[in-house]
Structure 1
Amino acid sequence: MSNPISPPPGLANGAATPATAAAIANEEAHSVIGINFGNAYASIAVINKEGRADTIANEDGERQIACAVSFLGSETYIGNQALPQLVKNSGNTILAFRNFLGLSFSEIGEQSPLSAQLKDVDGVPTYVVSVTPEPEGEAQEKTLTVREVTVLFLRSLLQSAQDFLSHRIIKGAVLSCPSDWSVKQRDALLEAAKDAGINVITLMDPAAAAVLAYAPSSASPALPTDTKSAANGSAAPEPHPVPSDRRTLVLDIGASSTTATLLSVSHHSLVHALHQSTDSTLGGKQLDSVLLSHFAKEFSKKSGVALSPTSTTPADLRALAKLRAACELTKRSLSATQGSATLDVESLKDGMDYHGSINSLRFDLLARSVYTRMTDHVRACLGEAKVDPTQIGEVILVGGTASLPGIADALQTLLPDPPTVLSNSIPPGNVVAVGCALHARLTVTHPPPVSAGSEEEQAILKGQALSLPIGLVFPSAGEPVFWQVINAGTPLPARRKVRIPVPSSISKLGFEFWEGKEEVKVETIVPPKVEQDPEDEEEEEEEEEEEEPEEVRTLHLVPSTHLCSLLLPVAHPVLAQEGKKKKSAEKTTEAEVEVVVAQDGKIRARAWVVGQKKVEVVEADVEGW
């Protein structure tokens, strides 16, 4: 046996099995929620009456809730209401605070220039804002730690969920949490959630939540059977068209960073992390900057008032804050339509209003360099994991920015279709919250078989995966054909069964078990030259550019290492009798083959004939690694 694949540091493996019921009327299931707590935006999902997960809108009608807190006089604004304060009250407006949870001031990296800045108070990163306790009182300084700001924000999310659920008591929640966070950061998040009144069932990796939201099961509660559910931000009505055993790439495009996570997913949604790569300089803000630069230039051209995206004068900073907020709304509009989107800003600078528009084609041209960086990041992640694009069965897009059609188009130039399926039918900005809500529902309706912190749980979380596929080879005169039974990367332990039809002429069925090898064949296809009609040769025509040769990559499986062989005696049943005459008729005979691979790599191969009264089983064992 070859060596197993182990998860990279910081990534935990886990399992979540979708419920088999189409709808669950269990009160416990309707009293839990999922929260996607990002650094820039958050979202909430609940379990609806049909047992499926829906994202909900807060009291402002927003499903994507800005992670922002602002103080103005005696008022406190939380969520999207705080964003307009960036124009004239940026010193009292706090943004992008989540990633600072659990860190000391010396560990704090770059801060958002748009937000109130953290200060060092005895080594603790602290915000200092100005508030007015009384309507006509004097302004006072107020200090808030990152944890206190987080408590304020999480409490508002909990209140929004309770209001939506008619003040039902929320008994638990699953929160998303980056897999690369330290234990100290995770503990800080759990403590902040507890102070906010949230009973945290567990923290969940965003990539695992995205996979669970797309669990490929006809009874998956993530996939509604009607078209109404897609409108309220849950999922598409079509069944999920991915193989049950697959490699899945989750591309999470946040506001300030982009993370590509490569996972191996088995048919019962057992997830094994293969690799993860993060670019902290690439995200939605880079696309906002593309729009900002474009509209600033257009404004200067139309109005004659100079506005530079790099200016640091107070007047320009206020104008750019207004323009950036409007650009973010324009980007959302471009995500929702293939047409054009408008941008309107009153009194942008020097009392001049501005109205502009941009279509999808123009935006994609301007954003091409950002799209290229994203595809290069995916290509680098696959290269580090030593996985070819043809070996990816599914790509899941996560994050509001990932809704832009240009990103999906750019990815499809890298990943072949088929075999790769691009999963973005659930709005990418909602998919993590949906997965968290489903995990919460599963936890309360199907309690885990092992206790938290136990040796059994640790064994599951540190599980191994196959590095090479296992399959069958039937003896033949020609080149051996490898029939895959267990995919490479499948989390262990694993069991798979296949049925083989046996012709009546065969009394003994022999087959071999092999480890396989994935080979990628590259072919260069040269487009055929178009012959010109002699009658048209004299006509003057513009010269057409010759089509460049196309590189086609295909994945092939070939046997590499023999494991064991089995010889199964086959007795074909004979049906007789019709009246007085006995007629023999053939009934299709099938052999069932089972392969079980334990966590230590030991293999047990078994085979038997289906439907026989006296079942004769042949089996063989192979030692592990």
Structure 2
Amino acid sequence: MIIGIDLGTTNSAVALWRDGKAELIPNSLGHLLTPSAVSLDETTGEVLVGLAARERQSTHPALTATAFKRYMGSNRVTRLGKKGFSPEELSALVLRRLVDDAQVFLGQPVTEAVITVPAYFNDKQRKATRRAGELAGLKVERLLNEPTAAALAYGIHELDDQSMFLVFDLGGGTFDVSVLEIFEGVIEVRASTGDNRLGGEDFNQVLIEDFGKAIGDRISTEDRADPVLRERIRAAAERARRGLTDSAEVIMSVTWKDQVFEHRFTADRFDTLCSGLVTRMRDPVLRALRDSGLHAGQLKEIVMVGGATRMPLVRRAVTKMFGRFPSNAVDPDQAVALGAAVQAGLKARDVALKEVVLTDVCPYTLGVEVSERGPGNMIRGGVFSPIIERNTVIPASRVQVYSTMEANQKFVKLPIYQGESRAVSDNIRLGEVEIAVPPAKAGEIAVEVRFSYDINGLLEVDVHVPATGERRELVIADEETMTAPEFSRRRAELAELKHHPRDADLNRAALARAARCYEDSLGDQRQFIGQHMDRFSFILERQDPREIEHARKELLQVLDQFEGATWL
């Protein structure tokens, strides 16, 4: 039995695919959502998970943890009493609770799961999520991006026509935007971007700060530092924000030391306070459209996901961005879990599901640190050189060629990074490869660096020095949570990708035909064919499969006009 799990910042949910549909599994309280909260009862030593834990947050703040998903992949330690927990360990406790509830509901063991992650999670965050699943006793069948899961819940995998969708996913702690294309049984992610530090919690913080200004010095500085008071204010802000979903006005009220402190919020006031957060939402939307090469008018639907999208100001902002109302066909709190269940059904090859192929993209750029020679022969290091660009469809394999910087250089070091900044210091370091090179003049020795990246985050780095035949290889993967056979299988799949697009049969045949036509022609016609050959060769070097396919079709159409269609 494979289940689907939405491991959320605020709430989590579990679902399965059976009897031809996705179905949410209720927890022991009969609720479909389980708060992502963990609390420690110091008296009994018992760990509480879910609603019981969340209810203790304002009374036992030092013993309760929430929103730990925001710190996945970091070294942050959350102390609950005398015990310290990593974000993976806290997440594993939530996952274990979901699995226990599923086993009681289904009456059978559950050992495998599809777990969703924000599309903009980096390599470390994804590996941390996989480790959390392993700690919970699960075989993690797949990490599925939350917007892709939402698209499956929406049912776009059942559509027959070619369409473009944008998934706008604003949860409790993270924000994702993904552009997806559906065609011929394939769901292809065209672009994913987002902000891992933007969510409902940030809108709560706006209310908390305004409440603090309103009450002024009526509460002492010492009392403001009290964790119990901070949690009461946080809970009151959450209630106020939710109240503004249906009301034009709410009163945020907190009781402290037998005094009641109140502050009135109107919807207009809340909109004004949150204008900066709304601006932060626009930037990922624009980047996703730019990276996918689309404009808003080409999108068939805007799909809203995540509990924070219930806020009227968010829906108004999205309507204004796209000039039309977003879809509300799927419950934003349940869509991701239901989509994970669809993917679980696909993994189990359920006959009720139409066969669908899911492609994904690399959410961050992968590359190496290089040095550059500037004015005055000055060498500047710490420069990031991209090899696999963000939003490249994966699995993918790309190669770049570098050369030595100094005369008689003995070795080349290639630190590997993930990120978007020009300076490697602002990106995430993943590892390093060092390789020996023969002594020669500066720039004479070439070093080929190939990155191969799969859909589950396995990155294989191959470094080759053609002058000596020397090779070095580094595999960056979460091997702790991967069996040896699975590791070998995934590396074998990547090995099949390791050829340059110019060596593919279709591309070689197109270039050979173009070369023949060039030799057969004269004058302007020859120049015209030569220009198209050069353009196609240039695009081949960029190694983008979609762009290459389009350019090859264009080249063949030009050749068909010259000599008629190819005959066999």
TM-score (norm 2): 0.57
Q: Distance in 2 between matches of 1:449 and 1:283?
A: 31
Report the count of equivalent residues: 383
Q: Distance in 1 between matches of 2:54 and 2:566?
A: 64
Structure 1: 5+ residue stretches without partners:
1-30, 109-117, 119-126, 131-140, 221-239, 463-560, 562-596, 605-618
Q: Distance in 2 between matches of 1:97 and 1:77?
A: 15
Taking a change above 3 Å as real, the CA distance of residues 42 and 459 of structure 1, as seen in their structure-2 partners, is farther
1:129 aligned residue? 80
Structure 2: 5+ residue stretches without partners:
358-484, 499-531, 533-545, 555-563
Shift of 1:162: 2.4
Q: Distance in 1 between matches of 2:10 and 2:112?
A: 23
Contact 1:264 1:273 in 2 (8 A): yes
Taking a change above 3 Å as real, the CA distance of residues 173 and 64 of structure 1, as seen in their structure-2 partners, is same
1:54 aligned residue? 23
Which of 40, 43, 48 aligns to 2:13? It is 43
1:291 is paired with a residue whose SS is helix
Shift of 1:280: 3.9
Shift of 1:213: 1.3
Q: Distance in 1 between matches of 2:331 and 2:107?
A: 27
Q: Distance in 2 between matches of 1:326 and 1:244?
A: 47
1:173 aligned residue? 113
| CA distances 1:343-401 after superposition (whole Å, capped 9, x unpaired) | 565xx223124577756555445434433432344234434555332233322222110
Shift of 1:43: 1.8
Shift of 1:456: 9.6
Q: Are 1:91 and 2:62 an aligned pair?
A: yes
Q: Distance in 2 between matches of 1:385 and 1:61?
A: 42
Q: Are 1:323 and 2:233 an aligned pair?
A: yes
1:251 aligned residue? 168
Shift of 1:56: 3.8
1:65 aligned residue? 34
Q: Distance in 2 between matches of 1:184 and 1:373?
A: 24
Taking a change above 3 Å as real, the CA distance of residues 157 and 212 of structure 1, as seen in their structure-2 partners, is same
Q: Distance in 2 between matches of 1:411 and 1:460?
A: 42
CA RMSD after TM alignment: 4.3
Q: Distance in 1 between matches of 2:497 and 2:241?
A: 39
2:56 is paired with a residue whose SS is helix
Letter in 2 for 1:210: A
Letter in 2 for 1:79: G
Contact 1:215 1:269 in 2 (8 A): no
1:203 aligned residue? 143
Letter in 1 for 2:12: A
Matches within 5 A, 1:130-529: 130=81, 141-163=82-104, 165-170=105-110, 172-181=112-121, 185-216=125-156, 220=158, 244-274=161-191, 276-295=192-211, 300=215, 306-307=218-219, 313-314=223-224, 317-335=227-245, 337=246, 345=254, 348-353=255-260, 360=267, 363-383=270-290, 385-417=292-324, 422-446=326-350, 453=489
Q: Distance in 2 between matches of 1:323 and 1:187?
A: 34
Shift of 1:60: 3.9
Contact 2:120 2:193 in 1 (8 A): no
Taking a change above 3 Å as real, the CA distance of residues 189 and 391 of structure 1, as seen in their structure-2 partners, is same
Q: Distance in 2 between matches of 1:389 and 1:191?
A: 38
TM-score (norm 1): 0.52
Q: Distance in 2 between matches of 1:198 and 1:54?
A: 20
Taking a change above 3 Å as real, the CA distance of residues 339 and 245 of structure 1, as seen in their structure-2 partners, is farther
Q: Which has the higher contact order (CA 8 A, sep 6+)?
A: 1
Shift of 1:444: 0.8
Q: Distance in 2 between matches of 1:333 and 1:461?
A: 52
| Higher gyration radius (CA) | 1
Higher relative helix content: 2
Taking a change above 3 Å as real, the CA distance of residues 392 and 195 of structure 1, as seen in their structure-2 partners, is same
Q: Distance in 1 between matches of 2:161 and 2:250?
A: 39
1:224 aligned residue? none
Q: Distance in 2 between matches of 1:149 and 1:254?
A: 19
Contact 1:72 1:89 in 2 (8 A): no
1:427 is paired with a residue whose SS is coil
Shift of 1:44: 1.7
| CA distances 1:94-140 after superposition (whole Å, capped 9, x unpaired) | 3333354454x3xx5xxxxxxxxx2xxxxxxxx4433xxxxxxxxxx
Contact 2:190 2:292 in 1 (8 A): no
Shift of 1:255: 2.7
1:77 aligned residue? 48
Contact 1:264 1:272 in 2 (8 A): yes
